[in-house]
Structure 1
């Protein structure tokens, strides 16, 4: 199994913490945020992890190396400028998939979840799906949500009740092969197009989750992991 950790953001909401340190290397309970992802993916059976980076990306490569100490192969996809989510995946696609039908896990580097590794291991795509999304209850800072999860397990762009995309998904390579490598592209329009064709499935994530996008949320996670909250 292969996976990608999205780590190319500029970390502007985290400033001043990210002026000299890339956001994935900020720590909670003494551990870099990206290491939580790596360890959970390895426990789920992932054998290769691709990490894209831009801002201070050389620090990420220096800190993590080739992945041997984690028991996984780490590969890097440097971006001269952030290519957005879909653009970053497209550039890294040769490292993630050998065939258009291949699928891989994708995790936003700036989220944290207590999701069980076994749950990640079971995220396989059905033949009639090109994406499988994990959705969470809407946090206070995103009350409108992103997508509707139907009773059938299909994820739709319309519906009375919406949930928030967790940033954890299983995606098929064919979603990205039509993009031009090296050009920025957002993921949401690609997902919405697949939703209109009925090819996106999903489920609610029943584990702790948060977007660690601000110093305040990083501090809250640090306290939670230390048992102080």
Structure 2
């Protein structure tokens, strides 16, 4: 695996994206028994359409979408992207490959080009401006691009009620794995130190990131493989950066959260 990001990351805008849409949406049943979760309406618009339009607004028109559940309905509902002013390619999975496995398949089949891309979890809803992602990421630690060691840049949010423990620690521009609470060094930490408190605060991964294809060199493309495993390996060598987003963000994984988003949109736009 290469240990630096290439010149595309530093000096060229991100030109491609992948939307993850292969899940069954089991927590949304019975609705998702007949409707693909990405096509569920949020504010009168399919959830996945929010992402497609946000990508277009950010100038990213080359989009890959993976699919494994109710594929025909999902493809019929979205098409080739022409109605949105983008180009959509479909990466169909006969069996769900999880996030990293699905990305590896898209790279192997040349659906994704071998250059950095923006990844969006199709289950989330936010109005984060995608064209601003990574601009203040602290990736330029060296004047020599070959010395910059960053393979991923994550969007992090404050921990929601359903994930109070959080996913990762964010400190000094880098993302770290949560410490093992059973380890003595964690128990002896000075919790009165403001810097230490900052280090120990956890954040939730928002499901939006910039990723380098080098992350997936050793990931199998024909069997399930989690993204968390890939990211944690990169975190061990300080190759993952991040930024915090304090705007509205929702993991639309349950009927209750779907109702919350719809109510939120009605409040800010009564005609929705």
- TM-score, normalised with respect to structure 1: 0.94
For 1:118 and 1:203, how far apart are their aligned partners in 2?
A: 14
Q: How far does residue 216 in structure 1 lie from its aligned partner after superposition? A: 1.0
1:134 and 2:134 aligned: no
Equivalent residue in structure 2 for 1:188, among 204, 228, 237: 228
CA distance in 1, matches of 2:55, 2:70: 23
Show CA shifts across 1:93-146 (max 9, x none).
121123xxx210000000001102432484886532000001000001100000
Structure 1 gap ranges (5+): none
Q: Which moved more, 1:49-58 or 1:152-161?
A: 152-161
C-alpha distance in 1, partners of 2:215/2:136?
17
2:206 aligns with 166
Map of 1:209-220 to 2, 5 A cutoff? 209-220=249-260
Aligned equivalent of 1:80, options 86, 90, 94: 94
Matched with 2:265 is: 225
Query: Residue 4 in 1 paired to residue 38 in 2?
Result: no
Q: TM-score, normalised by structure 2?
A: 0.79
1: CA distance, partners of 2:80 / 2:93: 18
- The answer to whether the aligner puts 1:110 opposite 2:123 as a matched pair is yes
Gaps of 5+ in 2: 1-14, 141-147, 179-198
CA RMSD in angstroms, aligned pairs only? 1.7
**The 10-residue stretch of structure 1 (191-200 or 117-126) with the greater mean CA deviation from structure 2:** 117-126
Question: Matched residue pairs, number?
Answer: 225
Question: Are 2:132 and 1:119 equivalent residues in the alignment?
Answer: yes
TM-aligned CA distance change 1:26 to 1:123, over 3 Å: farther
Q: Is 1:178 the counterpart of 2:178 in the alignment?
A: no
Distance in 2 of aligned mates of 1:121 and 1:2: 15
Q: 2:113 aligns with which of 86, 97, 101?
A: 97
Q: Does 1:33 align with 2:54?
A: no
After superposition, give the CA deviation of every residue in 1:23-53 in whole Å (9 maximum; x if it has no partner): 0000012100000000001100102110001
